[in-house]
A = this chain, B = another copy of it.
Amino acid sequence: MEGIKTNMKTLFAPASVAVIGASDNSEKLGFHVMKSLVSGGFAGPIIAVNPRGGRIMGIEAHPSVQHYPAPIDLAVVVLPAKWVPKVLRECVDKGVRGVVLITAGFKEIDDPRGALLQEQAASLANGAGIPVIGPNTFGMVNLQADLNASFTPEMSRLKKGNVCLVSQSGGIAHVLAFLAMRGENEVGFSKILGLGNRLNVDFAIMVDHLMEDPETEVILLYVEGLDQPGDLLNAAREHRGRKPIVALKSGKSEVGNAASQSHTGSMAGNFEIYTGAFRQAGILCMNSCEALLDAARGFSVCPLPDGPGVAILTGQAGLGLAASDVCDAEGLVLAAFSPHTQERINELLPPLALRTNPVDLGPAWYDTSAIKGIVEAALQDTRVNGILLFMMYASANAGILKGLTELFGQISLRKPIMGCILSPPGIWDEEIRMLEELGRVVNFPTPESAARALAALWTYRQVKDLSG
């Protein structure tokens, strides 16, 4: 296993990539993988391997990896399963350092020949210390290296960032990636990959690797089931508090379990036991694809809160109520303002406004400087560890965002600020984008999702503190 761990770095950042099973027929996955690599802009040599030779997307095809005259770091394999042991042997001989095995038809199928083929492949790869992502995966994308070793060229459209997604399902990886491409909930990724049947690269090895990966600050896991849950739990405990690990676990139901068995060759297992053990190991558990991405956006941009104290500053009282529910359920506390802060807020808001936490900014819709003053006072209050800032567009408050952008351009205090600032499409889009680009406010589609993301940061802060 030491060889495998050593080679993980090269697997993700190879100097050269071969596509074994490259094709110019768009009905073959080998076509789409070639397209991903070429259009993704990978800077090193891309080697097409196809026994028929010829040219594929303008690249000369070699009959095998041996026929290529220079070293090959990474091989992406898209041949039918029965050929895989043969080409893996050739990869070992060639000195290949990593493999992405897209091919399906191994342990996940009913036929015992699938499991046998997977054993053969594992024995070859393990013997040579070659880490293999897959089989039965859509592939792996390292956005920071412009390396798209997947069958979905459009994965390269993801924004570059510091979030890595390790998914047990290629389908869910696509759901998350496509949601993350939407302007209003954009997430920036370092890497995104499907583990498939986990020949020898599983969640535990990935967590170990990503802890040392300078491009990754947030680790997302989509987990169906694990053969050896202890490995992941040990890895998480060992690195507890170094980088946030946020998981989405499926397979709650019996029928789901049965489906998982046929899907990636392992049972999903008891949901409550898993999530309980995850939490004990310092892994955060979210309940939906959206919540997973929301947490990722929070971790990706915001500093961690130093405590559970939240100030809810809201242009509309109802949003404060909805967020209070989430705060209460998820361990955040509405801060009691310091006398100084309360005095300042009382000065800035008319007497009949709700001036305690949650603060109703409604009466100051026309007074941007009052809103700026209140946000500043809350930021300076040591009892406030994080801010939820809500503002619905309402025609009468259309000018308010300009003042907020100015404010966040000036302040130097670092506390997490989660927003729910919404307008009809096309009105505040540009202002919200500017506000987010300042890197001080992350904006969410509902007050509840903003509160939930802030709670995730506070939960992780406690994980970090516990790990000393």
Contact = CB atoms under 8 A, between A and B. Distances in A.
A171 interface: yes
A115 interface: no
25 contacts: A36-B395, A105-B352, A138-B394, A167-B318, A168-B318, A169-B321, A171-B316, A172-B322, A174-B316, A178-B393, A250-B318, A250-B325, A253-B328, A255-B328, A259-B317, A259-B321, A259-B358, A260-B321, A263-B317, A263-B318, A263-B354, A264-B317, A289-B446, A289-B448, A290-B445
Contact of A424 (B171, B178, B222, B360): B178
Interface string A293-335: 0000000000000000000001111111110110111000010
A88 to B, nearest CB: 21
A157 interface: yes
A292 to B, nearest CB: 10
B395 A319 contact: no
In the complex this chain forms, how many copies of it are found?
2
Nearest to A358: B259
A441 B421 CA distance: 31
Interface stretch (A11-19, A27-35, A206-214): A27-35
A21 interface: no
B328 A423 contact: no
A253 B331 CA distance: 12
Interface of A: 26-27, 29, 31-32, 35-36, 105, 109-111, 114, 138, 151-154, 157, 167-172, 174-175, 177-179, 181-184, 222, 224, 250-256, 259-260, 262-264, 268, 288-290, 314-322, 324-325, 327-329, 334, 352, 354, 358, 360, 366, 390, 392-396, 420, 422-425, 427, 445-448
A177 B29 CA distance: 42
Given A253-B325, A317-B169, A325-B256, A175 B334 contact: no
Contact of A325 (B105, B252, B329, B420): B252
For the complex of A and B, 7 pairs with smallest distance between CB atoms = A169-B318, A171-B316, A253-B328, A174-B392, A171-B318, A263-B317, A256-B324
A268 B256 CA distance: 37
A228 B68 CA distance: 80
Residue among A26, A181, A321, A425 facing the most chain B CB atoms (10 A cut-off): A321
Nearest to A182: B425
B175 A392 contact: yes
